[in-house]
Amino acid sequence: MTWPFAIIAVLTLTSAVAAMSLRNLVHCVLMLTVTFAGFAAFYLQLDAQFVGFAQVLVYIGAVAILVVFAILLTRSAEPPRQSIFSATWVVGVGIAVIVFGLLSGLILSSRALTRAIRPPPEVSVRQIGDQLMAKFVLPLEVIGLLLTAALIGAMIIAMHEKEHE
């Protein structure tokens, strides 16, 4: 429980709560971006540098901008007239509390916590590349197909309606 971890954890948790509860959707997205940056900081603390930079590049550089475009294209940037929370919000929060209780109970009673702490692993990008081409080549190809399908699918879904208008 070192100081950097505590600061990053507080920042990430606060921005996550803010992202889920603010009225203005654009503010929610900006808080979500801060949460993503907090996650990247966690990954860097855990000596996973490639994952940390990939998180910044993909999530902050692409997904956040995508959400922003979607908000502007669906005119959700104006403040809503009714409440932002649905009528059954108590059930939702209750389920989340139960899930957190379950998870923390499982974590605190697990034997994984008693293992000795190893020194940080020496991970180079070359090793990640070698693994991608050797052991994980099939998931790599499948991801390629998945991303192509997602690209074409998203384009078709978002394009089709306009021609019918």
Partner 1 sequence: MTPLLCYLLVSALLFAIGLAGALTRRNAIMVLIGIELMLNAANLNFIAFWRYGPNPQALTGVMFVIFSIAVGAAEAAVGLALIISIYWHYRTTNLDQIDSMKG
Partner 2 sequence: MVETTDQLFVTLKHWLVGFAPGQWQPLFSALLSVAAIIVTFAGLFAITTILERKGLGRIQNRYGPNRVGPYGLLQPIADGLKAMTKEDIVPHTADKVVHFLAPLVLVVPVFLALAVVPMGRNMTALDMDAGVLFFFAVGAATELSVFMAGWSSRNKYSLLGAMRALAQMISYEVPLILSAVTVIMAAGSLSPVRIVEAQAGYWGALPRWYVLTPWGLAGFVLFMIAAAAESNRSPFDLPEGESELIAGYYTEYSGFKFALFFLGEYLGMFGISGLGITLFLGGWHAPLACLEWIPSYAWFFSKLLALIAVFIWVRGTLPRLRLDQLMGFAWKFMLPMTLTNILAAGVWRFMPAGAARWIVCLMLVVAPYLMLGRMLAGRKQLGRRVYGYAD
For partner 2, the binding residues (CB under 8 A) are 26-27, 30, 33, 49-50, 53-54, 56-57, 60-62, 64-65, 68-69, 72, 77, 124-126
Choose, by CB under 8 A, the member of 11, 30, 34, 128 that binds partner 1: 128
Q: How far apart (Å, rounded) are the C-alpha atoms in residues 23 and 78?
A: 10
Element (H, E) at 40: helix 25-45
Nearer to partner 2 (CB atom), residue 8 or residue 64: 64
Note whether 138 binds partner 1 by CB under 8 A. Answer: no
Neighbouring C-beta atoms of residue 31, cutoff 10 Å: 19
Closest approach, Cβ 96 to partner 1, in A, equals 4
Radius of gyration of the chain (CA): 20
Q: Using CB distances below 5 to 8 A depending on partner kind, what does residue 153 bind out of partner 1, partner 2, none?
A: partner 1
Distances (CA, A) of 142 to 58, 89, 139, 149: 19, 38, 5, 10
Interactions with partner 1, residue window 144-163 (CB under 8 A): 146-147, 150-151, 153-155, 157-158, 160-162
Closest approach, Cβ 61 to partner 2, in A, equals 3
Choose, by CB under 8 A, the member of 5, 7, 27, 137 that binds partner 1: 5
Interactions with partner 1, residue window 45-84 (CB under 8 A): 46-48, 50-51, 54-55, 58-59, 62-63, 66-67, 69-71, 73-76, 80, 82-84
Neighbouring C-beta atoms of residue 33, cutoff 10 Å: 20
CA torsion angle for 46, 49, 53, 59 (degrees, to 10)?
Answer: -30
Token pair recorded at residue 87: 């009528």
